[in-house]
Amino acid sequence: MNLPGVFKRRAWSVQDLICEPADVYHAQAGKYLSSHLLAEFRRNALLFHKKELGLVQDQDRPAYVLGRAAHVLILEGREAYERAYAFGGPINPKTGLPFGSRTKAFQDWAEAMGKPVLDDDQAALIESLNASVRAHKHAAALLADGVAEGVIRAEYCGVPCQSRLDWLNPERGIVDLKTCDNLDWLQMDARSYGYVYQLAFYRSLAAALTGERLPVYMIAVEKREPLRTGVWRMSEEVLGLAQKENEESIARLIACREKDEWLSGYEDIRTFDLI
């Protein structure tokens, strides 16, 4: 059964693309390998194992909160955005101005709201990010039709894996949304944060279900003025190289699990040769 009105050309089915809340998806991390977990393993096998055992927790940061909120508005729409976040804050009766986000009054109010809170500055910035993306003709075209935050689960290289795709356009392929400080540094940021490996993982997981290698695009929007938006199509060569490294990393992960050996990378004596 094809998903009506969405996947017109590719043999996707309702069972292939799973719609579920983000917290449900992340709760499956102990059962499925994701691009994020594979990146953790590639950087540090020992830390990966401690996180897998629940001994180390990821830290949330203000930039992550803003980025997630921007994703919801840009990809899922205003209704989902306003349902997921609270805005503003209590007013100080002495000044007629909102309490600062670090005050006890604000913290008590935020806790009572029962969901993440965006202050006025954050909300205004997210609106500007959305407007910038919508004003870019290629970004707008990619996001004009498709499915937001669809989950794929499949076996890849003998390991159960999962991915939560930012966007799947039925005509154009996989689309990933990034927020950044400066578009001029985007390709350097992509190297630092391993974006290519992440997107290659998404494509490989989709191919495990469809047998097709879908095109992959990245939309990036600046969080600082002039709030530019840019669009990149990931080259086949780069994705192929990243896929090869991902598959080599999965093979190493399987070996680590079989041996129950999780190295830090600093077991041997190193030569200090810098001055």
pLDDT tens digits for 155-206? Answer: 999 999 999 999 998 788 999 999 999 999 999 999 999 999 999 999 999 9
Lowest mean pLDDT among 14-23, 111-120, 194-203: 14-23
Lowest mean pLDDT among 6-20, 30-44, 215-229, 254-268: 6-20
pLDDT surpasses 70 at 62: no
Q: How far apart are CA 263 and CA 144, in angstroms?
A: 46
Q: What does pLDDT average to over the chain?
A: 89
Q: Which residue has the higher pLDDT, 97 or 185?
A: 185
Specify which of 51-55, 69-73, 102-106 reaches the highest per-range mean pLDDT: 69-73
What is the per-residue pLDDT for 248? Answer: 98
Where in the chain is CATH 3.90.320.10? 12-59+136-261
Contact 189/199 with Cβ under 8 angstroms?
no
Query: What are the backbone dihedrals phi and psi of residue 41, each rounded to the nearest 5 degrees, phi first?
Result: -65, -40
What is the per-residue pLDDT for 269? Answer: 96
CATH of the structural domain 12-59+136-261, one choice from 3.90.320.10, 3.20.20.70, 2.60.260.20, 3.40.1360.10: 3.90.320.10
Of 199, 205, 144, 146, the residue nearest 176 (C-alpha) = 199
The answer for residues whose C-beta is within 8 angstroms of residue 128's C-beta and 6 or more apart is 227
- pTM, two decimals, is 0.87
The band of 11, judged by pLDDT with boundaries at 50, 70 and 90, is low
pLDDT surpasses 90 at 262: yes
Q: How far apart are CA 13 and CA 7, in angstroms?
A: 8
The band of 92, judged by pLDDT with boundaries at 50, 70 and 90, is confident
The band of 3, judged by pLDDT with boundaries at 50, 70 and 90, is very low
What is the per-residue pLDDT for 178? Answer: 97
Question: What is the per-residue burial (b if ≥16 Cβ within 10 Å, else e) of 235-274?
Answer: eeeebeebbeebeebbeebeebeeeeebeeeeeeeeeeee
Of 183, 179, 230, 220, the residue nearest 61 (C-alpha) = 179
Contact 193/34 with Cβ under 8 angstroms?
no
Q: Please, what sign has the CA dihedral across residues 229, 234, 238, 243?
A: positive
Q: What is the mean pLDDT of residues 32-59?
A: 90
The band of 114, judged by pLDDT with boundaries at 50, 70 and 90, is confident
The end-to-end CA distance of the chain, in Å, is: 65
Angle of helix 195-210 relative to helix 35-43, nearest 10 degrees, comes to 130
pLDDT surpasses 60 at 13: no
Read off the amino acid at residue 65.
V
Q: How far apart are CA 248 and CA 195, in angstroms?
A: 17
Read off the amino acid at residue 33.
L
pLDDT surpasses 90 at 89: no
Structure tokens at 121: 């500055």
Alpha-carbon radius of gyration of the chain: 21
pLDDT surpasses 70 at 1: no
pLDDT surpasses 50 at 26: yes
Read off the amino acid at residue 198.
Q
